[in-house]
Amino acid sequence: MDQPRDLQLDNAPPTPSGNGAPAGNPATPGDVFDEVLKHKSHLYKGSLRPLQEDYIPSRLLHRDTEIRDVLRVLAPAIRGNLPSHLFIYGKVGTGKSAVLTQVQKEFAKRLPPESQVTFLNLNCANINGEYAVLQNLANQVIQRGLDGEDQIPTGWSQDRVYQALCRLSDRRGGVLLLVLDEIDCLGKNGGSDAGTNILYTLAQINRDLKEARVGIIGISNDLQFAQRLDARVKSRLSEEKVSFAPYTQPQLRDILKERAAEVFVEGALDTEALDRCALYAAQDHGDARRALALLRKSAEVADQLDAQTIRSEHVIQAKNRLELDVIADCVRKLTLQHKILLWVVISLSEKRRGEGVSMGEVYHGYATLCHQLGHKPLGTRTVADYVTEFESLGLVHTEIHSGGRRGRTRLIASAVPTHETLRVLEEDSTLHPLSRQRTFGQTDLWRFDGKPPADGGTGSGRGYAPIPE
């Protein structure tokens, strides 16, 4: 099995000017504050805004075709006609939301003020349930300038909110285009039917309107979403489709280069570093968001080293740091039992230098540690399921090993940087004592020697159930 790479974050470079404090005497928060204020970057020429995630540049490179396709579908709205419902899909960070923002700007720029096209934007990831969707849309119609209307209060029945949305839309008139970004989240947030119900309601709303017409633009990075929809909704919603392909390495390079020119002084971004950022992001599903995050982090790393130029090695370090952030987020969200088990898997894996550890050994280690921490261990089948979950989260690799004295065995090894991940796990107060023990090489708390505890870790004295491999 692959040996996991360990990240050297402990060896992060000192801050540019040093803290001036004698060795072993940590800087006070005041020292750190002064130092940050004093530090002058060689890299940036002004605001860092163009590197931020929510910044949308005035020009979206390599999306002309997609912008044209979307505008072509929506064009009837310019003449006051109802366009087909549109479904936009493509992987994460392929510019779907940015294109829709750009398209709305074009409409605003080119259409006369009296024109009757109104965009209503909803990020479905931030909204919970059918009621909230209707209420939010109705309130947005009011905010677009309907005199004498009060916001829809929470507390009305859903039917009343729907009637209000229809009345307000008719009062506004013209074509209302509902941009439902991350449309796949509708089902996730409000129960499995919620997505279908609300989409069915909205797809039918034109039947209840007299003056206005409503078109729906659904956006999703879940490529299976449309397939999962109820047939009634699916046929209505996907009248027109536009797909966004992942960006290629040269395209990402262009996108990054343009942002870099806005943010960095000339020559501050080495060509090799730029290429490397584009390469990593292209390998990472052609995601422009990741590419920008990597460039931002690389600049941060270079700046901490007081470098004059962002170089390839800064990009490599930045990539490691970003990967670790993702792992840390995932690990922090685990339940305590998951954390105990993962701590055991990773510690054993570290001891074996990345070689796989058998499911039996993992279970015995887990049960021992549970006892020592005062927790009741879960059964062997549940633990085996947890290991499968870890694998799907990319935290461990497993491999079936057949033959030899033990027959078929499932071998598990860490797929993450062991030292850093153990440290994140030990942030949990229950596991915290283990960090001291590791630091001082003590073994008093976790005395796992590969043999099951006398009572089989269940307190029953009956030994373990067979370990599912």
Ligand X SMILES: Nc1ncnc2c1ncn2[C@@H]1O[C@H](COP(=O)(O)OP(=O)(O)OP(=O)(O)O)[C@@H](O)[C@H]1O
Positions that interact with ligand X (CB under 6 A): 53, 56-57, 60-63, 90, 92-98, 221, 255, 288-289, 292
Which does residue 92 bind out of ligand X, Mg ion, none, counting CB within 5 to 8 angstroms by kind? ligand X
Closest CB to Mg ion among residues 97, 135: 97
Residue 375: CB partners within 8 Å, gap ≥ 6? 336, 337, 340, 430
Cβ 164 to ligand X shortest distance, Å: 30
Position closest to ligand X via CB: 95
56 binds, among ligand X, Mg ion, none (CB under 5 to 8 A by kind): ligand X
Q: Which two tokens stand for residue 263?
A: 């943010």
Residues 352, 347: Cα–Cα separation, whole Å: 9
- In the bound state with ligand X, the residue whose beta carbon lies nearer, of 60 and 179, is 60
Interacting partner of 419 out of Mg ion, ligand X, none (Cβ under 5 to 8 A depending on kind): none
Q: Which does 53 bind (CB under 5 to 8 A by kind): Mg ion, ligand X, none?
A: ligand X
CB of 467 to Mg ion, least distance (A): 44
H or E element that contains 133: helix 129-143
Among 41, 94, 97, 251, binds Mg ion (CB under 5 A): 97
- The CA distance from 215 to 337, in Å, is 48
SS3 390: helix
The distance of closest approach from Cβ of residue 289 to ligand X in the complex, given in angstroms and rounded to an integer, is 4
Q: Which residues contact 289 (CB under 8 A, 6 or more apart)?
A: 53, 92, 93
Nearest approach in angstroms of CB 188 to ligand X is 14
The one segment of 92-100, 233-241, 278-286, 437-445 that binds Mg ion by CB under 5 A: 92-100
Of 291, 396, 300, nearest in space to 2 by CA: 396
Say if CB 287 and CB 53 are below 8 A apart: no
In the list Mg ion, ligand X, none, the entry touching 94 (Cβ below 5 to 8 angstroms by class) is ligand X
Q: Which residue has the tokens 């230098």?
A: 353
Minimal distance, residue 181 CB to ligand X, in Å: 7
Q: How far is the CB of 159 from ligand X (least distance, A)?
A: 32
Give the burial string for 352-374 (b: 16+ CB within 10 Å, else e): eebebbbbbbbbbbbbbbbbbbe
Is residue 140 involved in binding Mg ion (CB under 5 A)? no
Which residues of the chain form contacts with Mg ion (CB under 5 A)? 97
